[in-house]
A and B are shown apart, each in its own frame.
Chain A
């Protein structure tokens, strides 16, 4: 087995990982830092983010207002100390990206331009047309090339090494050759993104399979708030491709089959001609997705070949504005729906988009497991609470990616290098497991794709936009049964070279683990809050559930859920109000 050793190892190569890698190099250039990722860094899913990244910069804006929008948007499940750190550090991080060359859209005077975004009371979303994630990722990747960052490209991590209750590296398969590698490290930072592929309709890329969440969970680190699954209200049917919220920020309207702006019926304000912040189409994603379901129940949506849709109307924006501000939206509609939004309505439906939940970390991105850090969508630092506001995730991956890099650097500089003998033994065990359970496996009867699709449909039925005890319990049983069936998957590909069937099999294992935690946390949270809507418990219950769900893998292999209090600093739980004038800065909640 090939072995190597670094001070700090990043798992994943997207925005959070690259930001963390640069932060390590900057805080201590003597440290050896490496990135191991199953895809080349610039293929990571950060690339697909469209609308923008929030950071207070306008003169009429303030950190407190950004904090209040984030906390109320998250239905008071955000840790407020974390939110305060975030809003404070976001603008600095976005400026660093600017200094590194990110092509942010500009005002005529050459300063940074900002646009409105859902649930935000002020204009504070920085953007690079509607390819913000793409530009951020490529800027970070290209900038990272000037730092001594070692890369293990297209190398798939199968196990975290834990010795003496401390994470000491990973075992990974190098895809090109099939070689199993042991990569030892003083500290490991997980930045593997989300797990949208647990669901059938998702904006997420094929690679978003919850790898890091499952690896951490298996290693004994807790996951947190996994029931908090965000549905984005405007995905394309069939493909699930995201039509950015920026399309509504620029003035796009959501209409039902009668051409009626139905959001006015759901406590989101009254329709105005121009977009109004924190109102109607600029309401938060959870409320908009829920309104779609209600509208469908009333029979006012449009039937399509892939289920019901409503329409997003951009026609009144005109060709010039669409080309300048939303070029990618137009390109996606033309290519994937054969529709030109300059002249036609876009069919949209809610699709899974983001995990508020993830690996439990503190505000320094440290998990309770020594030597293990996490940042970005894979982590749950408790910024987003029960519902993330659009354009907070790109800021999050920068702020907490950088924090992860700095705190891991500090930890790694002080901790002794792990002893290699027990790690080598673990690596050899893992190599045997990959061989016997997958590569040399014969006689399997279950097709990977069949099982994956069955899981996705069980998850949609059990843990969709609205849930109840029986839907969740049924899905729990189904996924448990699938975990049994998973043991009998059939493997046809015996090759060591670029074995994508092996990858798909391992990913399915991760997805099933993560699915179980989503369902169990959802079953036990008997209230409705943010994205978690229980029809059998329709109210928010601050007495019992102003708390984070924390889930560990139990001794019986099943998820065990307990609770942690939410950190409240200056904004006591209040009512979420959209569509009418609230006073600035959340003073109404004091």
Chain B
């Protein structure tokens, strides 16, 4: 194995660049380094202006999602040596405005997340003095969807979001479904009101890229299909039983 590797990083400054361009850096190729370690090496030793997000470096905070050689990855858990002999091309996530270099603007997601009411909705206003009983089976019904770390890889991989930025998108829908399936929640109809509109869930064409790229094995594609089925059932119910279908 060669002892260095070339990284081509997308650079873009909103103040001085009309278009992004690539800059090449040569970094040590170490067997235990992740792509993030290479970026940190560049920032610390070669170019202090390189701009990217990172924090936990253990795959749980969701900050360091980027496109590496064409695929969405968490750079803190992507081995650099996988790409030897290189070069390795690192770009910001797709479909989002770029704030600078590898940093995307994810304001849109945060708005969409709030819209799907990602919290427990209850009809009883005072919570019980004890826990809601929830069996391990009931927990496992929604557990996988609760693993979403909001890393945005699925939005970057989603061709529908690329075409229609109004689409609610995979992570927010998976989280909505996470609450729909939680035995403690009673908010399904409220969420359906928001999401069964055109841009909510129906845009998804079941390509499944979101589930492919998810680093935490969440299956947003399945969540969306489940959601569509529930919405259809509820719609029929309200059509046939307008007095109390919801």
Contacts and interface: CB of A to CB of B under 8 A. Distances in A.
A498 B51 contact: yes
B197 interface: no
Nearest to B147: A131
Given A99-B132, A106-B134, A205-B56, A492 B49 contact: yes
Contacts of A205: 55-57, 61
Interface in A78-137: 95-96, 98-101, 103-112, 131, 134-135
Interface stretch (B111-119, B202-210, B219-227, B233-241): B111-119
B175 A142 contact: yes
Interface residues of A, number: 61
B123 interface: no
Given A43-B55, A335-B59, A498-B100, A98 B131 contact: yes
Interface string B119-154: 110000001111111111011001100111110000
A454 interface: no
Q: Is the interface of B mostly helix, strand, loop or mixed?
A: loop
A367 interface: no
* A interface SS class: loop
Nearest to B113: A145
Interface string B3-17: 000000000011100
Interface string B175-192: 100010010110000000
B48 A498 contact: no
A96 B122 CA distance: 14
A176 interface: yes
A39 interface: yes
A101 B175 CA distance: 12
Contacts of B100: 495, 497-498
A134 B32 CA distance: 26
B185 to A, nearest CB: 7
A495 B13 contact: yes
Contacts of B101: 498
Max chain A C-beta neighbours (<10 A), residue from B60, B135, B146: B60
A448 B146 contact: no
Given A145-B118, A335-B59, A238 B99 contact: no
A493 interface: yes
A206 interface: yes
Given A205-B61, A239-B58, A497-B99, A142 B119 contact: yes
A106 B130 contact: no
Contacts of A496: 15
Contacts of A238: 32
A50 B117 CA distance: 26
B49 A111 contact: no
A98 B132 contact: yes
A107 B136 CA distance: 7
Which one of A131, A134, A238, A504 has the highest number of Cβ atoms from chain B below 10 Å of its Cβ? A134
B119 A143 contact: yes
A99 B130 CA distance: 8
A105 B138 CA distance: 11
Given A100-B119, A110-B133, A495-B49, A48 B56 contact: yes
B156 interface: no
B133 A111 contact: yes
Given A101-B185, A497-B14, A497-B15, A146 B105 contact: no
B136 A108 contact: yes
Contacts of A415: none
A207 interface: yes
A331 B48 CA distance: 32
Nearest to B115: A145
A110 B118 contact: no
5 contacts: A48-B61, A142-B119, A145-B114, A498-B101, A499-B51
